Amino acid sequence: MKTRFTIIALFLALLVSPAITAQEMNYQDFLDEANASIKTEDYKEAINSLQMAIGELEKLMIAQIRDILPIEVMGYEADLSDDDSSGTVAMGMFGGGLSVERNYFKAENDWDNYFKLAVVGNSPMLASVNMMLSNSMYLSSAGGKIIKVGTRKGMMTDEGDGNYQFQLPLNSSLISIEGYGFSSSDAFMAVINKINFEEIAKALGE
């Protein structure tokens, strides 16, 4: 009889207990965890929570950059279908690291004539681009030209067959545009001139 009453009591307790709901953690949750760990002097766990908070904040930065990137440029339409997979955060890079890419087509999935706009934090190419921009010998050997965008300087190279590349170094990030199947360098430059690089730099804190 006692066992029966115990089971009934447990059943009633479950009925009146509030349901536990699962929810995705955000940067504030991880910051709260870090503060709690610091108070108990669990510094390793505090560091782990802070790293997770940084990762969540960089996801917000990726979303912000996506919102800034144009939807259409000179008749090239942005392919938004891969936005969810083209933005990444990698621990250990750029305080966590970020990379955002978007392809632009005149005709859907026409890989013969399109361009790719990429924003990469802590890019391994950053040092080499800066070196070429500051040394005419290296710049000439790479077949590059200096392109001024506002107060910033970038490098454009002709890869042949209507393919071009433009790279704009920031303080710790690199913005690049790769164009394929363009009729001329002027046509590629027209695309460059339509990109709001300063707005992207602002979103990156640069």
Residues in contact with 136: Cβ distance below 8 Å, sequence separation at least 6, in sequence order: none
Structure tokens at 48: 């782990």
SS3 74: coil
Do 37 and 30 touch, CB atoms closer than 8 A? no
Do 85 and 103 touch, CB atoms closer than 8 A? no
Q: Please write the tens of the pLDDT for every residue from 80-92.
A: 887 665 555 443 3
Average pLDDT over residues 19-30: 79
In whole angstroms, what is the distance from residue 127 CA to residue 132 CA? 9
Q: Please write the tens of the pLDDT for every residue from 85-131.
A: 555 544 333 343 588 999 999 998 899 999 999 999 888 889 999 99
CATH topology of domain 72-203: Protein Transport Mog1p; Chain A (3.40.1000)
